[in-house]
Amino acid sequence: MEPTETAAASGLVGRARASWERLTTGSVNRRVFGAALVVGILTLGIKVFALLKESFVAARYGTGNDYDAFIIAMIVPASLAAILSGSLDAALIPTYIEVRETEDHEAAHRLYATILLWNTIVLVGTVGLLALTVDLWLPLLASRFDPAKMALARKLVFASLPIVVLTGFSTVWGALLNAGERFAGAALAPALQSLGVILLLALCFQSMGIWALLAGSLVGIVGETGVKGYLLKKRGHPLMPRWHGVTAAFRKVRGQYATAIAASFIVNGMTLVDQAFASTLGPRSNSALSYGSKLQAFALSLGVTALSTAILPALSKMVALRDWTGIRRFLRVYGGMILAVTVPATLMLIVLSKFLVRIMYQHGSFTAADTDLVVQIQIFHLLRIPFATCHVLVTRTLTALKSVHFLLIMSFSSFALNAFLDWLLIQRYGIAGITLSTSLCSIVTLVCLGWALNHLLKKKALEAGA
């Protein structure tokens, strides 16, 4: 390359870098936008890879009995991992940042190590309880399974239990990377889960059958946890749990954690109820419900993962500074942006729904009849995208305000409403009624929590002015 060309290229890179810095530095809104954009771009690549994984799964298993058994076997361990680990993320990070900002990094590290030890004990105890009670809860979720299908599901449950503990470490380590505004590593690591599944299905499907899918899931979560741990250790952060005593910060996290677990249990319990209702509708139903949720989960994850990852540290800082006006302005700006993006995107996905299902799934063991069933489920599920994305903005703000009791109250109400609507709507719409129920619950929950948050912020502003 000629010197003049090299200079021109360097100048172009420099101008692009300067433009990026102007766009993503300075105000809180700009920093959050930059973080959300980075995470969103990385998440897009990872989720496209995850859809490729789902295409592999559909081609190998379709909506057959083995995949039905896998869905039911994984749903309780996966839900409990999400409940316990996600709740710790929400409870720990605001207080962790507060301690780091008001005391020092060492105090924050001690808090993390103590909380992680406590949470590890909870996770191991949960795994033991699941194993001891499997013959009580599994028949409730798989009420229409024949004996062979039930036996397979039971074996898969025991083999999947390590995922609960591994997910606990992975989630907390990822949250700490995000709290340190090191978003890229935490966002990229989950790609290893999809990679593990694809590799095991490609190499071992013929010899292992459904067990290749479980083995791939285990390999993937081990890889993800290892990468996050390495990145955190590289930053000089301690990894292993250790007891440093009960402090005021520990008590604060513990109290928030207990409330967040209760709220999250109810929300994730809705998924269990959905799959339990699906299992009463006969073969193919659990698999079809799972496939029908993938596209909306993909669409939501692009915005929700980026948004929730980026905004919690920023909101926690504003709460620590008692910047109530800034929080309200922040919510207005991002609420408008969310609706401007998600409403047109949702309409487009609904129009293209059948085409997308054909492209993603209809090959191998996945038939045209499976496509028709999944499309019905998917369209109703897509309706919740704008409301669920706004819901994240509201819940993260309540979490930063350490007001998760609002989430607990609303979660109980949503759980009851979801179960009732599941029962009511499957009479008319069959399996698709379950996803319509989920979308309606998202709307009701957002309206109620939005009202509660608005009331709380007005109260905080009045107290600050008094």
Instruction: Convert the pLDDT of each residue in 32-56 to its tens digit.
Output: 666 666 666 766 777 777 888 888 8
Residues with Cβ within 8 Å of 43's Cβ and at least 6 positions away in sequence, in order, are 187, 301, 302, 305, 306
Q: Is residue 3 part of a domain?
A: no
Q: Please choose, from the candidates 432, 444, 436, the residue with its C-alpha nearest in 3D space to the C-alpha of residue 391.
A: 444
Instruction: Give the mean model confidence (pLDDT) for residues 205-214.
Output: 91
Backbone angles phi, psi at 161, to 5 degrees: -60, -35
**Number of domains composing the chain:** 1
Whether 385 shows a pLDDT value over 70: the answer reads yes
Name the residue range of residue 125's domain.
27-465
Q: Which two tokens stand for residue 158?
A: 């025991």
Backbone angles phi, psi at 235, to 5 degrees: -85, 5
Q: Is 126 helix (H, G, I), strand (E, B) or coil?
A: helix
Backbone angles phi, psi at 283, to 5 degrees: -55, 155
Q: What is the pLDDT of residue 37?
A: 66
Q: Is residue 120 part of a domain?
A: yes
Query: pLDDT category, 187, cuts 50, 70, 90?
Result: low
Q: Is residue 181 part of a domain?
A: yes
Residues with Cβ within 8 Å of 464's Cβ and at least 6 positions away in sequence, in order, are 322, 324
Q: What is the pLDDT of residue 70?
A: 93
Q: Please choose, from the candidates 272, 307, 232, the residue with its C-alpha nearest in 3D space to the C-alpha of residue 35.
A: 307
If you average pLDDT over each of 173-187, 249-263, 297-311, which comes out highest? 249-263
Q: Half-sphere exposure of 246 toward its Cβ, with a 13 Å CA cutoff?
A: 4
What sign does the dihedral 438-440-442-444 (CA atoms) show? negative
Q: Is residue 308 part of a domain?
A: yes
Gyration radius (Cα) of the chain, Å: 23
More confident residue, 49 or 379: 379
If you average pLDDT over each of 74-88, 112-126, 177-191, 232-246, which comes out highest? 112-126
Q: What is the pLDDT of residue 346?
A: 92
Q: Which two tokens stand for residue 177?
A: 């990377």
Q: Is residue 422 part of a domain?
A: yes
Whether 347 shows a pLDDT value over 80: the answer reads yes
Q: Is residue 215 part of a domain?
A: yes
Q: Is residue 63 part of a domain?
A: yes
Q: Which two tokens stand for residue 218?
A: 């285990």
Q: Is residue 118 part of a domain?
A: yes
pLDDT digit string (tens) for 423-435? 999 999 999 999 9
Q: Please choose, from the candidates 94, 116, 223, 208, the residue with its C-alpha nearest in 3D space to the C-alpha of residue 163.
A: 223
Q: What is the pLDDT of residue 158?
A: 94
How many Å separate Cα 298 from the centre of its chain?
11
Q: What is the mean pLDDT of the chain?
A: 82
Q: Please choose, from the candidates 162, 146, 127, the residue with its C-alpha nearest in 3D space to the C-alpha of residue 69.
A: 146
CA distance 101 to 104: 6
Helix boundaries (H) for 142-161: 147-160
Q: What is the pLDDT of residue 35?
A: 60
Whether 1 shows a pLDDT value over 90: the answer reads no
CA distance 193 to 49: 10
Q: What is the pLDDT of residue 433?
A: 94
pTM for the structure as a whole: 0.72
